[in-house]
């Protein structure tokens, strides 16, 4: 572990069960639409606005090129500075594919990222793709996990989970491997530190993330709240390692991406259901969440917090 011994390592865990909330879908092509600045986590609201804007076709065609340019400029400069201030359009996604859907033309040279719109693991890779400005190079293919097409397991990914990435004639899975893969195999700003001390700490935090989520899930499944509190305390401590903050290794990186989708879910659920404010007494975590919410690459992927809470209520109903 780190020189300061921030993270206590525990044994690796098995993957968390899938997020069972409903997938969102819109019968629209993948494209970027101009939208005004919106508060983070307004996914549903954003989709509604997107539908309205589709009706405004002239506005869309007039504004689209500059939106794309802004993304590319951001990607070519600094993720942290660029993403934190960017307020570009919301990407409208194609409908989730179901058992009734035909497979896409597999291995035709298109790079496809298979996701579920409610899966935190898939969200990691989706954020990475957005941060690197790869919206045009990596096509998102949402899958309806509740009504999964047979061809997904048979022809795409035998692991039958999301995320999976179809690239260069092969398909690979596992979100933590994939965020590194996307970072190192595609253009765009590097999301991994070169500085050896930061790199070492980043590795430790990427190993720790499963233990962190396991500790919180254990408490959600009826375990003691202390276990989750200790896990959040470790995050608070880790966020203090590099003073330039507010991100784990100072600058926004894959580490933030690995934790963000889970904290996005834990925070509103713990607040609503257990009355626990995870940011109370944890100013660095509060600052991290605040700064992250300004990151357009991330907020593009956020789900409606109310829907996330409802999904977790169903999932942990027997423990509530
Ligand atoms: N360890 C995997 C976990 C992926 C995962 O569990 N994905 C869920 C959705 S959130 C899934 O596809 N579940 C389908 C299933 O288990 O059948 C990763 O990090 O990518």
Residue 63, helix vs strand vs coil? helix
Position 319 scores a pLDDT of 76
Q: How many helices and strands in the chain, by DSSP H and E?
A: 12, 6
- Is the confidence at residue 138, as pLDDT, over 90? yes
Average pLDDT, the chain: 79
Dist. CA 172 → ligand 1 center (Å): 13
Q: Does the Cβ of 256 fall within 6 Å of ligand 1? A: no
Position 216 scores a pLDDT of 97
- Is the confidence at residue 183, as pLDDT, over 90? yes
Q: Does the Cβ of 163 fall within 6 Å of ligand 1? A: yes
pLDDT band at 172 (very low <50, low <70, confident <90, very high): very high
Dist. CA 21 → ligand 1 center (Å): 13
Dist. CA 56 → ligand 1 center (Å): 37
Domains of the chain: 31-185 (3.40.30.10), 196-251+253-294 (1.20.1050.10)
Q: How far is 115 from 113, CA to CA, in rounded Å?
A: 6
- Is the confidence at residue 158, as pLDDT, over 70? yes
Cα-Cα-Cα-Cα dihedral sign, residues 292, 295, 301, 302 = positive
Least confident residue range of 5-19, 205-219, 252-266: 5-19
Q: What kind and span of H or E run contains 142?
A: strand 138-142
Dist. CA 136 → ligand 1 center (Å): 25
Q: Does the Cβ of 30 fall within 6 Å of ligand 1? A: no
Q: Which atom of ligand 1 is nearest to the CA of 161?
A: 12
Q: How far is 57 from 166, CA to CA, in rounded Å?
A: 32
Which stretch, 6-20, 74-88, 196-210, has highest mean pLDDT?
196-210
Q: How far is 211 from 309, CA to CA, in rounded Å?
A: 22
Q: Which atom of ligand 1 is nearest to the CA of 163?
A: 20
pLDDT band at 132 (very low <50, low <70, confident <90, very high): very high
Q: Does the Cβ of 174 fall within 6 Å of ligand 1? A: yes
pLDDT over 90 percentage in the chain:
68
Taking only the tens place, the pLDDT of each residue in 223-243 is 889 999 999 999 999 999 998
Position 202 scores a pLDDT of 98
């Amino acid at each position: 572990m780190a020189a300061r011994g921030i993270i206590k390592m525990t044994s690796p865990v098995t993957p968390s069960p899938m997020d069972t909330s409903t997938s969102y879908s819109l019968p629209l092509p993948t494209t970027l639409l101009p939208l005004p600045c919106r508060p983070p986590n307004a996914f549903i609201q954003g989709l509604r606005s997107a539908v309205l804007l589709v009706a405004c076709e002239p506005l869309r065609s007039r504004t689209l090129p500059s939106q794309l340019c802004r993304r590319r400029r951001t990607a070519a400069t600094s993720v942290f500075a660029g993403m934190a201030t960017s307020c570009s359009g919301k990407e409208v996604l194609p409908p989730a594919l179901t058992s009734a859907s035909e497979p896409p033309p597999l291995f035709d040279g298109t790079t496809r990222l298979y996701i579920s719109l409610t899966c935190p693991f898939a969200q990691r890779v989706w954020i990475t793709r957005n941060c690197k400005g790869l919206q045009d190079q990596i096509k998102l293919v949402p899958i309806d996990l509740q009504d999964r097409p047979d061809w997904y397991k048979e022809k795409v990914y035998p692991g039958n989970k999301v995320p999976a990435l179809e690239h260069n004639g092969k398909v690979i899975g596992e979100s933590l491997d994939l965020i590194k893969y996307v970072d190192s195999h595609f253009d765009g700003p590097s999301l991994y530190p070169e500085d050896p001390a930061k790199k070492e700490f980043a590795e430790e935090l990427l190993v720790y993330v499963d233990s962190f989520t396991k500790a919180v899930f254990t408490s959600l499944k009826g375990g003691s709240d202390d276990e989750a509190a200790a896990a959040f305390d470790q995050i608070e401590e880790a966020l203090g390692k590099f003073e330039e903050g507010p991100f784990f290794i100072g600058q926004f990186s894959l580490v933030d991406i690995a934790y963000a989708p889970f904290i996005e879910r834990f925070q509103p659920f713990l607040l609503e259901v257990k009355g626990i404010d995870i940011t109370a007494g944890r100013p660095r975590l509060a600052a991290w969440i605040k700064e992250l919410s300004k990151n357009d690459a991330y907020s593009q992927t956020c789900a409606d917090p109310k829907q996330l809470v409802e999904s977790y209520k169903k999932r942990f109903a027997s423990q509530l």
